[in-house]
Structure 1
Amino acid sequence: MDTIWLTGAQWLAVLRIGLGLWWLESWRHKDKKGWFERGTGIAWASDVAARHRWSAVRSGFERVVAPRPREMAYVVVYAELALGLGLVAGFLTPVALVGGLLLNLLYFTLMIHDWAEQGQNAMMSLISAVALFAMAWQTWSLDSALGWF
């Protein structure tokens, strides 16, 4: 084959941007009023954590999240927005990839009993790891344009 439609670096950028769009969709479809005013997201997570088979998840949730449900709702919702914007624009990409990987691993751990959600978390984690180790910020990114990383 004489020509390749996209280079390897460009395909990695497509993967990074697609992951960012996935995070933006996660942010977009959240009922923000429910999360911020009624605490629906944190209440759901509290119920899941209370029944979790691992005591570390139960106690960690009780120590970190339960005392500050409103603040944690904002952290979760706006972390997804920040991750999406950072990955789509390629801005602070390594930070966004590590943050996304950690957030997906947290979701994975919290919902370990619910295998219906685990495919999404596993794939997003895999994409984050591949994009991080393959340095997917080298093409079509603000990081590259600014000479960062």
Structure 2
Amino acid sequence: MDTVWLTGAEWLAVLRIGLGLWWLESWRHKDRAAWFERGTGIAWAAEVAAKHRWRAVRSGFDAVVAPRPRVMAYVVVYAELALGLGLVAGLLTPVALIGGLVLNLLYLTLMIHDWAEQGQNAMMALISVVALFGMTWQTWSLDAVVGWLG
């Protein structure tokens, strides 16, 4: 009789948890003083957006991010923390997966001209899609314990 170390659903849960750990690492390594006090993260993104080949990226950044750089710095940094915690714990997992996918797609769009930095975002987006359609909240998650996502 063959024994299976982990089931397919458990491997998908491992993938979800790994993605959450990736988001937590992204949050952990950020210099929060630089992001919050000096605004370096948003200032860097503003430089990239200003030179972007797509007008929609430039105008979108100018309309949404530029008027509120301090707020957006907090949004980015704490979104990464929330995504990481949600995915590792499996809490509101579909929301975290969709939120992470959107954030990765925004990062990919902003940095479309620099593919050297995009492998991470592309893989995180792909994992988000696989984890979402694999319904990874059904295994090893608070969502499954509470039973609210079936």
- For the aligned pair, the TM-score class normalised by the smaller chain equals over 0.9
Counterpart residue number, 1:29:
29
Counterpart residue number, 1:80:
80
Counterpart residue number, 1:58:
58
Distance in 2 (alpha carbons) for counterparts of 1:92 and 1:12: 16
Gaps of 5+ in 2: none
User: Given the two structures, how large is their TM-score scaled by the length of structure 2?
Assistant: 0.98
CA RMSD of aligned residues (A): 0.6
User: Given the two structures, how large is their TM-score scaled by the length of structure 1?
Assistant: 0.99
Gaps of 5+ in 1: none
What letter matches 1:134 in structure 2?
Answer: G
Percent of pairs with identical residues:
84
Structure 1 residues 109-118 or 96-105, which shifts more?
109-118
Is 1:71 matched with 2:42?
Answer: no
Structure 1 runs, 4 residues or longer, greater than 3 Å off: none
How far did residue 148 of structure 1 move? 1.6
Q: Give matches, 1:1-149, under 5 Å.
A: 2-149=2-149
Structure 1 residues 1-10 or 41-50, which shifts more?
1-10
Distance in 2 (alpha carbons) for counterparts of 1:94 and 1:63: 28
What letter matches 1:102 in structure 2?
Answer: V
Indicate the SS of the match to 1:52: coil
Distance in 2 (alpha carbons) for counterparts of 1:148 and 1:120: 31
